[in-house]
Amino acid sequence: MEDMIIVGAIVLGIALLMGSEYRNAGKARRRFLDRLYRNYGTFPERVYQAGEMEHIAMYSRRHREARQIDDITWNDLHMDDVYRQINTCLSAAGDEYLYYRLRTPVYDADEAERMEDCVRFFMEHEDRRHELQDILFGLGRTGKYSLYEYLDHLDILGERRNGKYLLCNFLLAGSVCLMFLSLPIGLAALLVMLCHNIVGYYREYRQIEPYVTSFRYIHRLLAAARQMSRRTIPAIAGEQARLAACCREMQSFVRNSYLIVFTERGNGNPLGILADYLRMIFYLDIIQFNRALGAVREHAGQIDEMVTLFGQIETAIAIGSYRRALGESWCVPKLHYERRAVRRLAVENLYHPLLREPVKNSVQTDRGVLITGSNASGKSTFLRAAALNALLAQTIHTCPADRYEAPVFCICSSMSLRDDLIGGQSYYMVEIRSIKRILDMVKAAGEDGRPVLCFVDEVLRGTNTVERIAASTQIMKMLAEGNALCFAATHDVELTRLLEREYDNYHFEERMEEDDVVFPYKLLKGPATTRNAIALLRVLGYDSGIVSEAEKMAARFLADGVWTE
pLDDT at 479: 92
pLDDT at 214: 86
pLDDT at 360: 97
SS3 helix, strand, coil % of the chain, rounded to 5?
Answer: 60, 10, 30
Residue type, 73: T
Beta bridge partners of 452: 410, 484
Is a pLDDT exceeding 80 seen at residue 405?
A: yes
Question: Confidence class of residue 291 from pLDDT cuts 50, 70 and 90?
Answer: confident
- 237-249 helix and 300-325 helix, angle to the nearest 10 degrees: 150
- Residue 381 DSSP SS3: helix
pLDDT at 28: 60
pTM for the predicted model, two decimal places: 0.86
Q: For residue 255, what are the CA distances in angstroms to 204, 250, 251, 318?
A: 22, 9, 6, 34
Looking at 87-101, 372-386, 434-448, which range is the least confident one?
434-448
- Residue 363 DSSP SS3: strand
Length of the chain: 565
Distance CA(469)–CA(451), nearest Å, equals 26
Q: In 3D, which of 80, 85, 77 has the Cα closest to residue 381?
A: 77
Distance CA(422)–CA(424), nearest Å, equals 5
Beta bridge partners of 453: 411, 485
Q: What is the DSSP letter of 48?
A: P
pLDDT at 367: 92
Is a pLDDT exceeding 70 seen at residue 146?
A: yes
Decide the pairing of beta strands 361-365 and 368-373.
Answer: unpaired
Average pLDDT for residues 427-432, to the nearest whole number? 82
pLDDT at 306: 97
pLDDT at 361: 97
pLDDT at 11: 61
